[in-house]
Chain A
Amino acid sequence: MSSLTMRPCGDFRTSYKQDNTIFETKTIRWVTIFTILALCFAPLVVDGYFITLLIQISYLGIAALGLNILVGYTGQISLGHGAFFGFGAFASAWLNTSFHIPVFLCIPLAGFLTMGVGMMFGAPAARIKGLYLAIATLASQFIIEDFFARADWFSGGSSGSMAEPINLFGFAFDTDQSFYYVALFSLVFMFIWGCNLMRSRDGRAFVAVRDHYLSAEIMGVKLNKYRLLSFGISSFYAGIGGALYAHYLGYVSAEGFTLMLSIQFLAMIIIGGLGSIKGTLMGVIFMVFLPEVLESGVGVMKMTDWGNIPMVVDGLAYIKEMTIGLVIIGFLIFEPEGLAHRWTQIKNYWKFYPFAY
């Protein structure tokens, strides 16, 4: 078993530039560029159902990357990410309807507002860590959820608030196909930003704080500053993701941003791989597609004569829900380092074939 820290044989880096590069080889770079270009043509090829799933992957992916920066790279924990996601959604809708700021400006502004809120709730991280921090962030989840239900001026209370579609130079991104490009652009932009952040001094400081906070402090990394900054950046990502979600649906209701959503974000990054940017995306894709694939399995059963009776269909619904849970448990047992690790192993397997060690 190779581990993440082990370099494949023959891969020697002789300069900092080589060590710092986003794409390890030219092939990876070209494959990435080609994939993004191919995704641009997706609306011409696939139907609305897949477009909506790709949009879901985009906004959830952006928010999940934020959580991975906090949990995977900085070693902090947050159980309130779903609430920050919701805060971004409401904040963007609120900025747009109350101050008539154009939507494409509201989205980054909502990100900054969420960043502020996130840093406020992340402040205890300067003093506490581990389980204690988990409980402190759990409190933020409940406080913000309660705020949504009460603050009529901000969230519209029980009737929710409306979010206009993105409008750029008179063109409204109000169909799935057009919004898909907004979502894709945001996803690529935020992921490149995330990659670059991790190559910078601040990114290395996050990793230092995670790996050994005492050594990091001795080396001159300000612990409080970086822990708080990590909370801020993580919430910023959640806010952007939430804002995209709001303007995609056109309507925000306080119903969806529960603790379950926060747990789901955690599940995404654990399945994908903690401390891995591409792992984040893999985890999100996995979590978005899993229920859909299982649902289509149920759909196939329903097409048969013996399967299309309510007893079988209802039974399958339960099995489907349980399978989602089972798959997640299976991952934690057999693939604790996530999909990103499995990907590395698959690559190594091909690279060293037939002399894999």
Chain B
Amino acid sequence: MNSIKNKKLLLSSITTCIALSFTSQVQAEDSVFVGHLADMTGPTSFVAKHYGSGIRDALNYKKKNNGINGTKFEHETIDYSYKVPQAIAAYKKWTSRKNMVVMQGFGTADTEALISFVSRDKIPNFSGSYSGHLTDPTGKNPHTKKPAPYNFFYGASYSDVCRGLIQWAAEDWKSKGNKGQPKFTHIGANHPYPNAPKTACADYAKELGFKVLHPVVVSMKPGDFKAQCLSIKNSGSNYGYLGNLGGSTLSLIKSCNTVGTDIQLMTNIWGADKNFFNAGGSGLKNYVFPTMTPFWGDDAPGMKLVGEISKMSDPSGNKERTHHYMRGICSAYYMIEAMEWAEENGGITGENIKKGMYVKSDWVPKGLEGVCLPATWKADDHRGINKINIYNANYENGSVKVNKVSTVTVERRDDWLGY
């Protein structure tokens, strides 16, 4: 009898689950839908959950405060765990059932898988993937294989950040009174994300008089990297660009400290944040990294709004947010202002939102002054940001101190578009 009962229970739970999957949530009249793909549990979640919470809090805040010029909007955050099939399924669910007009994505995997779909369906996709090849919307540069007309991101591309760091390194080399040719090494896994700026950055380094050494391959997963550090030491490289993130970068820093390398490490936008510094601790010596926003606790006019937004998921207001969180807010707010423009100029559709992105130049969303850098998107150039704030982190007296080193501006050269 017991087994029959169990079977009945199993059967009924299966039926419920199937029935659930058929229910489509009914959408209110007169509202628009924003899809949000976040990686809260997947392999990149240690930075992605900060970025994703920033977007989600910003959307929830705007929902409570007047919506899009009074038009209500709805959003759904789906955790796709960095799995492409689930990202595609979520996207299709939103387009076929919710009439999605615009979306926020996250990583390289989902963003690239959706490039063709979003340009066909005319749905702007604001991603946290900063690959240079997403910046050429019309295929103006003959090198661009696939134009990405509906892809946007807030921030400088991986290539432009690396170029900015190289520019800084060239000045740093001179200002320290060094003689001779500085040597540059790309350090990272053989994977699309660290590889994205590899050739672009090496080309520019050569142009600025660096000697570009063989890239050093370091796994994306944490490990013992003393062998790699020894080869960096033996090559006598002066500047290294770190393409990886998180644990892998930390173990590289620790291994290189053990080996005793004399290289100036510079990392990408995902390669450093508060949690990273806490874990790195005494290992951090003059670790150079870029940001597109200030830090939590910095004094800027826009930080007030950031504080309000943060209260959406942390009512106490005590939680310290990382700069990834603020980049998420910026990404959401550029989208929201473009939606507001669209609402005033013909209605909130994907096409109008795209047009809305090109209206302003040196654009900072209202209320976020000093938080988001002035950005300019053009119909044939999606390089929104070309300024890079460079900081360094040092371990002093039991805590990590972060200081601003410089702000560099990367040229918007035509042959760098989409590269």
Contact = CB atoms under 8 A, between A and B. Distances in A.
Contacts of A313: 77
A176 B92 contact: yes
Nearest to A250: B116
B231 interface: no
Interface in A2-44: none
A48 B96 contact: yes
Interface string B80-100: 010111101110110111000
Contacts of B18: 293
Given A52-B88, A310-B313, 15 more contacts: A48-B95, A49-B93, A51-B92, A51-B96, A149-B191, A161-B145, A253-B108, A253-B109, A255-B84, A256-B84, A292-B21, A299-B76, A314-B49, A317-B41, A321-B41
A146 interface: yes
A158 B120 contact: no
Contacts of A146: 190
A49 B89 contact: yes
A128 to B, nearest CB: 27
B108 A255 contact: yes
Given A47-B97, A158-B195, A314 B112 contact: no
A161 B108 CA distance: 14
A149 B196 CA distance: 10
B293 interface: no
A314 B40 contact: yes
A82 B369 CA distance: 47
10 contacts: A52-B92, A53-B89, A60-B85, A158-B196, A255-B191, A295-B78, A297-B17, A310-B53, A317-B41, A318-B40
Contacts of A303: 25
A53 B93 CA distance: 10
Contacts of B24: 47
A162 B25 contact: no
A255 B192 CA distance: 7
Contacts of B115: 250-251
Interface size class for chain B? 35 or more
Interface of B: 17-18, 20-21, 23-25, 40-41, 49, 53, 56-57, 76-79, 81, 83-86, 88-90, 92-93, 95-97, 108-109, 112-113, 115-117, 120, 131, 133, 145-146, 190-193, 195-196, 198, 312-313
A124 interface: no
A296 B90 CA distance: 10
Given A149-B192, A149-B195, A162-B145, A251 B113 contact: yes
A156 B92 contact: no
B25 A299 contact: yes
A56 B89 contact: yes
Contacts of B113: 249, 251, 253, 256
A220 B353 CA distance: 69
Nearest to B313: A310
Contacts of A149: 190-192, 195
A49 B40 contact: no
B81 A321 contact: yes
A53 B21 CA distance: 12
A318 B41 contact: yes
Nearest to A97: B145
Contact of A49 (B49, B57, B78, B92): B92
A65 B53 CA distance: 40
B108 A47 contact: no
- The listed residue with most B CB atoms (<10 A of its CB), out of A159, A292, A297, A309, is A159
A288 interface: yes
Contact of B85 (A56, A296, A300, A317): A56
Contact of B23 (A251, A253, A300, A314): A300
Contact of A297 (B20, B79, B86): B20
A347 interface: no
B145 to A, nearest CB: 6
Contacts of A289: 21
Given A159-B131, A292-B89, A297-B20, A320 B79 contact: yes
Contacts of A295: 78, 86, 90
B136 to A, nearest CB: 11
A161 B93 CA distance: 26
Given A48-B95, A158-B198, A293 B21 contact: yes
Contacts of A256: 84, 109, 113
B116 A156 contact: no
A250 B367 CA distance: 39
B20 A317 contact: no
A160 interface: yes
Contacts of A222: none
A350 to B, nearest CB: 13
Given A149-B191, A249-B116, A158 B131 contact: yes
Contact of A251 (B25, B49, B146): B146
A157 B195 contact: yes
A51 B56 CA distance: 28
Nearest to A319: B41
B108 A293 contact: no
Nearest to B52: A314
B308 to A, nearest CB: 16
Nearest to B110: A255
A129 interface: no
In the A-B complex, list the 6 residue pairs whose CB atoms are closest, starting with the nearest: A250-B116, A48-B96, A52-B92, A158-B195, A317-B79, A253-B112
A249 B17 CA distance: 28
Contacts of A317: 40-41, 79
A254 interface: yes
A49 B146 contact: no
A15 B247 CA distance: 64
A93 to B, nearest CB: 10
A174 B21 contact: no
- The listed residue with most B CB atoms (<10 A of its CB), out of A157, A256, A309, A311, is A256
Given A149-B190, A149-B192, A156 B96 contact: no
